[in-house]
Amino acid sequence: MCGSVIPSTVTLKARCCSRECGITYQNRKRAAEKIARIAAEHRMCEACGEPIPPERHGAVKFCSWECKHRTHGAYYRARYRGRIRETLYGLTEDQYNDLLRAQDGACAICRRSDWPGKNNAPCVDHDHATGAVRGLLCGSCNQGLGRFGDDPARLRAAADYLDG
């Protein structure tokens, strides 16, 4: 294991020069057997369907950290969406649903109800200075306001530009 010569005082069956080398040898041998056993199982990733590499042994369900992160992130975003919204904006689930009903289930700016953008769900629009919620927007309108820095003068100038 370590590259040292096995002393002549050790029996002929010895494969290692010391106890530490023997332990290392046995651990590597067991690890190789375990990897071979796992590779024979042909387990598939729950996220993408690719085979899980044998090096990722244990109770692994995903072929990579990215697949695991993507799957768990989507799960927690869906499960705790209301809590995240309440933490970020102080908006309870009932208040959110009331706001959505008040807007007739459509974006406050473009009136689209298919919610294009991230997660295909309404974005909570809020004033960054005060934190007050203004309404629910589709992803496109929300990004548009953000790109103009929530500045009404810049938005009016852009509208004048489009008209002119």
Which DSSP state fits 54?
Answer: T
Rounded-to-integer distance, Cα 20 and Cα 17, Å:
8
Cβ atoms of 63 and 73 closer than 8 Å:
no
154's tokens? 């810049």
The answer to whether residues 85 and 158 belong to one domain is yes
Query: Across residues 46-56, what is the average pLDDT?
Result: 79
Same domain, 158 and 111: yes
Q: Are residues 101 and 152 in the same domain?
A: yes
Does the pLDDT at position 157 exceed 90? yes
Residue 80 or 68, more confident: 68
Q: Please check whether residue 2 lies inside any domain of the structure.
A: no
Domain boundary among 73, 89, 108: 73
The whole-angstrom separation of Cα 141 and Cα 143 is 5
User: Are 152 and 88 within one domain?
Assistant: yes
Domain enclosing residue 57, as ranges: 19-73
The number of domains in the chain is: 2
CATH classification at residue 137: 3.40.1800.10
Tens-place pLDDT, residues 76-127: 777 777 787 888 888 888 999 999 999 999 999 989 888 877 778 888 999 8
Using CA atoms, how far apart are residues 65 and 75, in angstroms rounded to an integer?
Answer: 15
Per-residue pLDDT band for 36 (boundaries 50, 70, 90) equals confident
pTM: 0.52
Residues 69, 95 within the same domain: no
